[in-house]
Amino acid sequence: MSKSTTIKNLAIIMDGNGRWAKERGLIRTQGHSKGIETIRNITIYGAQHPELESITFYAFSTENWKRPKFEVDFLMKLLEKHLEEEIKTYQKHNVRFLAIGDIQSLSKPLQKQIKKTQDITKDNKNLTQILALNYGGRQEIVSTVNMLLKEGYSTISEENISKNLQTPYSDIDLLVRTSGEERISNFLLWQLSYSEFYFSPTYWPDFSKEELDTIIKNYKTRTRRFGGLK
């Protein structure tokens, strides 16, 4: 097996919570609650995987503020509760938690819980779970460039940007999006430059570790050329 097909950094666009709920006669927020369980299951799978170092979940985009206020408020409270409850899971499976995005615009209780969870899990080594919260890929690149300019850089290189992005890993090996949609929705634009993509028809609440295992096996049969011929 080619070394290029190893998988270290996985990114997931979790899509389909609302449609999953609608098809079952439920309200959208019930789809989000069910989706939280899937995050837990996939994180545990990642912590046990021999190659994976990180999984970045697209949890809340900068565009998600356009949703109805009651849904946004529910998501903020759900994420806060989830992080508080997940500390036991993170510690049991040796998972480090990180959040990326414009965290300062989130609710104060959620900001406090994010910091607490990051502090408690900072030395865990099996896997880094990254939640993208109030995140946009274009915004991340603009912010990084502005920060470098502020620090006095007159010329900015790809290496400068890669080293100063919010994500600790500048390249994603594989992006998975659920629910059958085939777009990246302003997610990790810099980090996805040479990533492999897989679009699953499964709604996020029904996505399983078994399906992810099959997707990773498919990925490992691919040849990644990074713009070259070999």
Catalytically active residues, by annotation: 15, 64
C-alpha span between 103 and 82 (Å, rounded): 16
71 with 28: CB under 8 angstroms?
A: yes
User: How do beta strands 95-100 and 127-135 pair?
Assistant: parallel
Write out the two tokens for 58.
């697209």
Q: Torsions phi, psi of 59, nearest 5?
A: -95, -35
Nearest to 59 by CA among 25, 106, 127: 106
Angle at 71 between CA 69 and CA 73, to 5 degrees: 65
Contacts of 33 (CB under 8 A, 6+ apart): 78
How far lies 53's CA from each of 3, 125, 130, 154, 168, in Å? 16, 9, 11, 34, 11
In sequence order, which residues have a C-beta less than 8 Å from that of residue 182 and are 6 or more positions away? 199
